[in-house]
Amino acid sequence: MKIILGFSFFLLSFFASAQIDSFYLLKPDRVFDGETMHNDWVVLVKGNKIENAGQMQFKLPANTRIIELKGTTLLPGLIEGHSHLFLHPYNEASWNDQVLKESRAERTARAVTHANATLMAGFTTVRDLGTEGAMYDDAGLKTAIEKGVVPGPRMIVATRAIVAKGSYGPHSSNADIDFPQGAAEVANVDEMEKEVRTQISKGADVVKVYADYSWGLNGENEPTFTTQEIAKAVEIAGSSGRFVTVHSSTPEGMRRAIEAGVHSIEHGNNGTEEIFRLMKEKGIALCPTIAASEAIARYYLHWHKGIDPDPQMIVDKKKSFAAALRAGVTICMGGDVGVFPHGDNAREMETMVEYGMKPVDVLRSATSINADVFGYGDKIGRIKKSLLADIIAVNGDPSDNIHEIRNVVFIMKNGKIYKQP
């Protein structure tokens, strides 16, 4: 028995050493390093990290495996900035039906499939901003991916997210019925502090707060929290090294979030020139989620893009996005995926270009900018020595034609190859 155990330990040590010492040389036509495009670059990977990147002026280890990627652009693994892996498109099942009628087991099974589709689209990291009624199951999925139980992207999770009591859903017209909620409800500063601490203890990497929602007298979007309540979340999260991001579409909700010191704002549908100037001054990033707005317009307003006139919500979205660009606000790439299909994450990148961003700026948003804003710039988001080997290759040059970002031919996450020519 001792001999068998000793031999088994030797094999495990051998294979672990082989993985650590494995080298890959990636040879594309060009490399986008997260900030700049380079010609005649190669990338050397050792184990799960980037060993070297640049022109071929270094000696290759004897056991290096060379992967030719002719005709391609090599990029850092893309980072999805706003995802809901536990949701699927609302034209398949409404949000209410997903929260109330789909079991946690079904939703987790779907999330596993969604995670794989996301990875195979070239998105090696997701910031998942709320399970929408599936409790802390995103933290469990994150662990399963890290253990190699199922394939998927790196996950930055928010667990349940936080809403003001009475503002969220699902709702009932019968006041005697209390439905399970899609997020954690709080009603004052003390409850906010307790909930932030709870979510951190359950595995939240980021705290998400809904600064406004459709709880006005006639269903209008109105602010839900005071500045002081949001600031308490920022204070508690910040003491643990975590950031707070807020869902907000109204100028007043955004203003309160800015004054409270949040790190980023999601959506910003009706942001004004003044609000975006404040965001720029305070260094607060915007994740505009354009693709989700267009998907909702198609589902509920029966809008046919390119055929019908833009509905008012799309007119407003284009106006606010243009104002954010003029103000120089840091723009993250995140589509609110789950409202539309997982694996179709590139839709947001294409729409950002359509709405006025340069393709190379969108590539930056989906790589180095997202990594920096989310606090992971020392690990991912760039092709740079010592960073984790999250690397993809696409046919063509997406800095010239953003649609090429869909033509993924090579995927590596943490030094492991998931797809290659």
pLDDT tens digits, one per residue of 149-200: 999 999 999 999 999 999 999 988 898 999 999 999 999 999 999 999 999 9
Give pLDDT, residue 131: 98
Q: Of 186, 196, 202, 256, nearest to 228 (Cα)?
A: 256
Q: What is the pLDDT of residues 270-317, one digit of tens each?
A: 999 999 999 999 999 999 999 999 999 999 999 999 999 999 999 999
Average pLDDT over residues 66-83: 98
In whole angstroms, what is the distance from residue 368 CA to residue 376 CA?
A: 9
For 108-161, list the strands marked E by DSSP: 123-128, 154-157
Average pLDDT over residues 100-113: 98
Give pLDDT, residue 4: 41
Q: Could you tell me the CA-to-CA distances from 340 to 89, 124, 257, 269, 365 in Å, in that order?
A: 5, 19, 27, 18, 20
Asked whether the predicted pLDDT for residue 2 surpasses 90, the reply is no
Cβ partners under 8 Å of residue 161, min gap 6: 129, 130, 131, 132, 183, 184, 208, 209, 210, 247
- Specify the residue for token string 């391609």: 72
Average pLDDT over residues 49-74: 92
In whole angstroms, what is the distance from residue 236 CA to residue 244 CA?
A: 10
Asked whether the predicted pLDDT for residue 6 surpasses 90, the reply is no
Q: Of 349, 347, 288, 346, nearest to 319 (Cα)?
A: 288
| pTM score | 0.94
Q: Could you tell me the CA-to-CA distances from 33 to 46, 214, 383, 407 in Å, in that order?
A: 17, 41, 5, 18
In whole angstroms, what is the distance from residue 335 CA to residue 339 CA?
A: 9
Give pLDDT, residue 21: 67
Q: The tokens of 297 are what?
A: 């317009």
Domains (range + CATH), the chain? 21-76+382-419 (2.30.40.10), 78-374 (3.20.20.140)
Average pLDDT over residues 227-235: 98
- Specify the residue for token string 């490399």: 31
Classify residue 369 by its DSSP letter.
I
- pLDDT band per the 50, 70, 90 thresholds, residue 59: confident
Q: What is the pLDDT of residues 120-140, one digit of tens each?
A: 999 999 999 999 999 999 999
- pLDDT band per the 50, 70, 90 thresholds, residue 20: low
Asked whether the predicted pLDDT for residue 17 surpasses 80, the reply is no
What rounded mean pLDDT belongs to the chain? Answer: 94
- Number of residues that make up the chain: 421
- Specify the residue for token string 């920096």: 372
Give pLDDT, residue 192: 98
